[in-house]
Structure 1
Amino acid sequence: MSERILGLDPGLAILGFGVIEYDPAKKRDLSPDIRVVDYGVVQTPARTDTGKRLCTIYDDLHSVIDEYQPDLVSIEKLFFYRMGNTILVAQARGVVMLVLAQRNLPFVEFTPAQIKQSITGHGNADKVEVQDAIARELKLKSIPKPDDAADGLAVALTAWFRMD
């Protein structure tokens, strides 16, 4: 029986997600079978009331969970860079945490540096290095677009790499 990991890259304007599937019985194989189920984004319109944008994230994340039925959710931890943007991302992340609690879904969290380390082998990799590594590891013909969706796959893949 396969299991699914939903990776989330929270944001108020764009929340990236990626869903991967694997067979837990084959996790330790030399060539484990990991497949991409889907990836995409939840977008909220600019110049819309923040409360309405958070409601969109809430509703759409419930829909993503209904559609993909993940066994585990992996979330990128909040990274502080610009205070105004950080607060908005924190609000979106709070909605994500609420949805996961309502659905009783287990989750793990990783910092951006941990994700980069897991995907590329070093914690200060740039976006292109991470995207190339995702495409290679998941045997994709091209780099997933938009960038936020690729980030969602990176977060999901990090959870898979770090499983015991």
Structure 2
Amino acid sequence: MHPLGPSASSVVATRILGLDPGLRITGFGVIDKLGSQLRYVASGTIKTRDGALPGRLKTLLDGVREVVTTYQPDQAAVEIVFVNVNPQSTLLLGQARGAVICGAVSCEVPMSEYTALQIKQAVVGYGKARKEQVQHMVQRLLCLDQLPGPDAADALACAICHANSATDGAGLPAHGRRRAGRRLASI
């Protein structure tokens, strides 16, 4: 858990990592949740180069581990892969998703999964929203100065969806709690 603000010594936030898996580009977004407030921490992408699949998957695994090491999330959320018309594309995306999940859970970060419909519903209020609508709502909800890129926006939307999927008194799913007393010196 992470403190927010200079006088927040007894108030802690939960840090959430959102992941939008892709074999070429995987988006990540990190937010802090304190009560009903969400605060942007960071976002970006992990990109793989063309080449053999095992090397690309290792790039994703290592990239997620680096993000986890850098931002120390308490929980993570990932988008569930949809089945599309091309079975080969679906298989490759599933493998990328597996590498992304393994990157987080190998660092002992609890993982939750959400469908694209759930994520869009939570962020835009409409499960079939376009990418641009998701980007604009993420910008608005996190008070960002500029529009996040599409992959980072999808990852941030996944984190927002998780933050708003509260089932326990602290505002997060009970199965995802860990490291209760941990604090980070700077955010």
Fold shared by both chains (TM-score > 0.5): yes
Aligned with 2:63 (options 53, 60, 64) = 60
Matches within 5 A, 1:35-54: 35-46=39-50, 48-54=51-57
Q: What is the CA–CA distance in structure 2 between the aligned matches of 1:42 and 1:130, rounded to whole Å?
A: 20
Higher fraction of helix: 1
Amino acid of the residue matched to residue 142 of structure 2? Answer: L
Amino acid of the residue matched to residue 22 of structure 1? Answer: K
The aligned residue for residue 128 of structure 2 is 124
Amino acid of the residue matched to residue 138 of structure 1? Answer: L
Matches within 5 A, 1:12-161: 12-23=23-34, 27=35, 32-46=36-50, 48-81=51-84, 82-145=86-149, 147-161=150-164
For the residue of structure 2 that corresponds to 1:140, the secondary structure is: coil
Between the aligned residues of both structures, percent identity stands at: 39
Q: CA RMSD in A?
A: 1.1
Is there any run of 5+ residues in structure 1 with no aligned partner, and where? none
Is there any run of 5+ residues in structure 2 with no aligned partner, and where? 1-11, 168-187
For the residue of structure 2 that corresponds to 1:141, the secondary structure is: coil
Q: What is the CA–CA distance in structure 1 between the aligned matches of 2:166 and 2:144, rounded to whole Å?
A: 22
Q: What is the CA–CA distance in structure 2 between the aligned matches of 1:103 and 1:45, rounded to whole Å?
A: 24
The aligned residue for residue 8 of structure 1 is 19
The TM-score with structure 2 as length reference comes to 0.79
Contact 2:68 2:104 in 1 (8 A): no
Whichever of the two has the greater Rg, that structure is 2
Give a deviation string over 1:68-119, Cα, whole Å, max 9, x none.
1000101000011132211111111111222233222111111001111101
Contact 2:78 2:101 in 1 (8 A): no
Amino acid of the residue matched to residue 5 of structure 1? Answer: I
Q: What is the CA–CA distance in structure 1 between the aligned matches of 2:142 and 2:101, rounded to whole Å?
A: 27
Q: Structure 1 residue 123: deviation in Å?
A: 0.7
The TM-score with structure 1 as length reference comes to 0.90
Report how many residues are paired: 155
Amino acid of the residue matched to residue 110 of structure 1? Answer: Y
Amino acid of the residue matched to residue 137 of structure 2? Answer: A
Q: Structure 1 residue 163: deviation in Å?
A: 1.7
Q: What is the CA–CA distance in structure 2 between the aligned matches of 1:113 and 1:41, rounded to whole Å?
A: 22
For the residue of structure 1 that corresponds to 2:118, the secondary structure is: helix
